[in-house]
Structures are given as C-alpha cells and as structure tokens.
Amino acid sequence: MYTINVKLCKDTNILNETTVDVRIDNTKPEIISIHCDPPLQYVNKSINVSTIIYEDSIIDEVNIVIQYPDMIQENISIIQNKSEDVFFYNHTFNQHGEYNFKIWVKDICGNQNTSNVQYFWILEGFFLNLDDFPIYDAEEPHREMCGPAVAQMTLNYIWWNQTKDPDEPPYLFDSQFDLYQNGVENNSNVSLPYLDTVGLWHIIQDNRPQPYSEYGYNFAKYSNDNLTETMKRICLWINYTIGTYGGYKPGHPLHVPAMIPAYGDYSNWMAVRGIHTNKSCYPLQEDLSIFGFWINDPLPQGIGSNSYKSVTQWIDTYYKPMDTDDQYNNKYVAIVEPPQDLHEQDILLIKPKEQLNEIQKNVIQNYRGNKNMPLTLKKLCNTWIVQAAIYGLREELLPYDKDLSQLFDKTKPINPIFVQNKNGRDYYIVSFGEIGAEFSSRISNISIVVLIDGYDGHFLEASWVNKPVEYNILSYKSDTLYYSDGSPYYPIQKHINKT
C-alpha cells in the first residue's frame, strides 16, 4: 500500500491538497471452484457449468473455453452470467462425445488466471450396464466350464439381496463342477462335453429363486434363424424390469443378463450384461439402433473377461448361428425371458466411426511389414494407431462406463501389435499399462486392451481389469505378426514373418 500526497496548485499557490491510498495489484484472480452439473448428459440436454471466483478488486472478463469432440474450440464470455460470486454457463449440446473446458479470468489491472482442464460427456442414446454382475473365470478344463461359469454368475446374481449384502453377490453356487454335472445330465446331446442350450437352461431354471409370483425370474430357450429378431430379444430382455410381470423381491436385481453361446458352438458361453442403444428397449420402440454390448467372457485364455464389443464386432466375430447336431443348428440362440411378442420393428447396427484418414491409411498400408521403414515414420504410424484407439475408446465406451474411465486416466499406451486374421478382419491390439510401470516383451502391468480395425482404425472392442495383469506382447518394431483362428483372443497361433 502506498500513500500519495496530491496537491492542486496554481502558480505557487496550493489550492487544494489531499492524500490518496494506492495499492499495486499484481495478484491473480482466484478460481475457487468449478462445478459441472451433470458431468454426463444426453444429446440435446443441458449442462450447467458454474465457477466461484474471488478477486479483491474488480473482475473485468470471465470466459469459458470449450473444446468440442470434433476438436473445434469456442471462447465464450460469461461475465454477464453472474449470481453473487458465482459465474455460470448453461447450454444444450447436440454433438456426442468428450468435451473439455477451462475457465479464464482477468481483472481490471490485467492480472489473469486459467483453471485446470475439466471434462464432461454428452451421451448418445440409451445404455444399461449391469456393472455389479459378477465375473468368474472358468475353472479347468476351461472350455467345458464356460457354461457352468456363466450359470454361476447368473445364479449368484439373481439370488443376491443387495439390502442384506450391499457389497457383492454371495457365493452361494460355489462349485462349477457340480453345476456342470447337473447340466450335462440334462443336455439334449448327452455325449457332448459342453453344456448345450437345454443343459444350461436347466441349471438356471431349476436353481432360480422361486416362486415366480414372488421373485419374478423366469428363463426361456430362445432361438431364431433371424439375427435381427434375436438381437431385439436380447436388448428387450436386459432392459425389461423384473416385476413388470410376476413378482419382485425387494433388494434383488431388477435386470438380468442374457446367456449366449459364442462362435456357433457350445465351447464358450458368455453373458451379455449390458446394452448401448439409441433408446430404451422396453417396451421395444421403432427405429432401434444398437451400438454395442458389455460382455462377461469366462474363458481365462483371453485378455480379460470384462469387455465391451461394438455390435459389428459382436456379429462379425462372436455371435454366429449354431453349427451343431441338435435342434438349434443354423439358429441364433439366447437364454432369456422375452416378456412379450415382438412386432416387425427394424433395427440398425451402428458401425463405429473410422479413426484413420486417407493419408494415414495409405502410409500405414504401404509401409506395414517393411523392414526398411524409417524409424521416425514407424513412430509416427504407431502414434496414429494409438490415437485411433484412444479416440475410439473415448467415443464408444468411456462416457458410458465410469469405472473404465477412471481406470483409463491411470494408464499410458504401449506400441501397438498388428494381427493378421486369416479368417477375416485384420486388426491392431493397443494395450494400456499403469503409469510409471516398467514394460518389456512380457508386460505385467496391463489394465486395458483395445482392438481397432487394421485398415481404417475404427473401434472393435475393449477389455479391462481393475488389477493389472501380465500380458504377452511384442513391440511393433519386430516383424512378428499374429494369426488368429476365429477369435481375436483365442485360440491364438504366433508365426514369425521375416518378409
């Protein structure tokens, strides 16, 4: 603080005199807090951003700087949007994806301050993820125990009274072998080493909480040679609320996953525990679009039982008509309880957006496998592929899975692996490991694995674990290509390509 004596003079005469206290202000305005409500919102719904700013002189400008999912940035003044010490910005957004923003403030002395970057998500459509549905690996022999493992997940889940056991489902059905014995005895093909549709259905139906009038759980063996109809049934069943028909026991789950045999046989049962669509599926509506499914896969040879698969990846790779000797041959199968007849509504299967532009695609295609590829170009191609995986993950999954989003923030990407799939689409594996972890060809700190298309980089699927695991991986600098028989994960055969 300075005190200045001011005199008003004419010639040598002092006409007036006063003192003025002057403070030199070089302190930045303080951004006390920022709040985004809600941090997750649907397309064409409003987001309210509010910030409390402290400044002991006068605030001259306050802006919110928003970066949209398409990377366009907008600088918006909110100096007039004020209530006491709170500045706010309320807006409706029609572009889905991840937004980031920061608050910038300047006082009349020119002192400026900028907040840390904040985030919110605009979501497209409807999603229902039963993320408390348990995950159990199939015990040995793994393929024979996939069906019992899915039954074990489902039965422990529907017997769960969350009011009494708030943390997790009880381990009531603790023996996959006992479930297996019960199932194969009821198989339509008693010589089959796996649980077939009838065998797995019997396990669930015979051991579910009863009576139906009290609990509301009931299961059916559904099959159809029409993929569209079967997909609608799966979405309808997961979205259906228990108790709409029959009874409901308070505290028990209101939604139940569907059980699916993958790859057109019974060696790898999976549970579909969540759906991402453009609208609610119960009751079923016109113009339904399906984006993807959350999947529990109990087979332990994979990269993780906890996964999300785009709908195009699901039908291209996993969900196939049965190639069996029973009554379900050439049909799509699901164990669900469709609670109503369906009409002839059409559905759209939405392919994720391409993430590589034409130049990037051409460069990667022309140089892939070339030993003489310059190191700088190789690094650039790796960067493009990793960015494609990150962008796809952000658009397709992170906004809809809070646990995965929090996990993703603690990881860093590793060089991608190219996979040649002799049965179909080539793809890249992009792994994400713990920040600060040491990596080698055998990596023990992998948390997330993302698969993207080998040509245009669009998102295929992702798998993740809360506790990092060891995962065999080879640097893109090597000439090793992976060849996969059917599944992107297993069985896998590795061949060295020296050309």
pLDDT, tens digit, 9 for 90 and up, residues 292-306? 999 999 998 765 678
Tens digits of residue pLDDT in 158-202: 999 999 999 999 999 999 999 999 999 999 998 999 999 999 999
Query: Residue 55's pLDDT is what?
Result: 84
Q: What is the mean pLDDT of residues 334-348?
A: 76
| pLDDT of 485 higher than 90 | no
Residue indicated by tokens 């920040």: 435
* Comparison of pLDDT for 490 and 239, the residue scoring more: 239
Q: pLDDT-derived band of residue 11, with 50, 70 and 90 as boundaries?
A: confident
| pLDDT of 4 higher than 60 | yes
Spatial contact of 149 and 294, defined as CB atoms under 8 Å apart: no
| pLDDT of 135 higher than 60 | yes
In the chain, what percentage of residues exceed pLDDT 70? Answer: 88
Query: Residue 175's pLDDT is what?
Result: 98
Q: pLDDT-derived band of residue 375, with 50, 70 and 90 as boundaries?
A: confident
Among 210-224, 334-348, 433-447, the range with the most confident prediction by mean pLDDT is 210-224
| pLDDT of 371 higher than 80 | no
Query: Residue 476's pLDDT is what?
Result: 32
Indicate the range of 101-105, 185-189, 463-467, 472-476 predicted with least confidence: 472-476
The backbone region for 409, taken as left when phi is positive above 0, alpha when psi lies in -120 to 50, beta otherwise, is alpha
Secondary structure element (H or E) that encloses residue 365, with its range: helix 358-367
Which of these, 236, 307, 238, lies nearest to 268 by C-alpha position? Answer: 307
Asked, as a colleague might, if the bond just before 261 is cis with ω within 30 of 0, I would say: no
Beta strands in 363-458 (DSSP E): 411-413, 417-420, 427-434, 442-453
Which of these, 62, 64, 127, 46, lies nearest to 100 by C-alpha position? Answer: 64
The tokens of 205 are what?
A: 């139906």
Q: What is the mean pLDDT of residues 440-456?
A: 79
Which amino acid makes up residue 333?
V
* Comparison of pLDDT for 264 and 487, the residue scoring more: 264
Query: Residue 304's pLDDT is what?
Result: 60
* Comparison of pLDDT for 324 and 43, the residue scoring more: 324
* Comparison of pLDDT for 440 and 376, the residue scoring more: 376
Among 42-56, 245-259, 340-354, 395-409, the range with the most confident prediction by mean pLDDT is 245-259
Q: pLDDT-derived band of residue 480, with 50, 70 and 90 as boundaries?
A: very low
pTM summary value: 0.80
Secondary structure element (H or E) that encloses residue 41, with its range: strand 40-42
Angle at 432 between CA 466 and CA 100, to 5 degrees: 90
Query: Residue 499's pLDDT is what?
Result: 25
| pLDDT of 103 higher than 80 | yes
Query: Residue 415's pLDDT is what?
Result: 83
Q: pLDDT-derived band of residue 7, with 50, 70 and 90 as boundaries?
A: confident
Give the mean pLDDT of the chain: 87
Query: Residue 158's pLDDT is what?
Result: 98
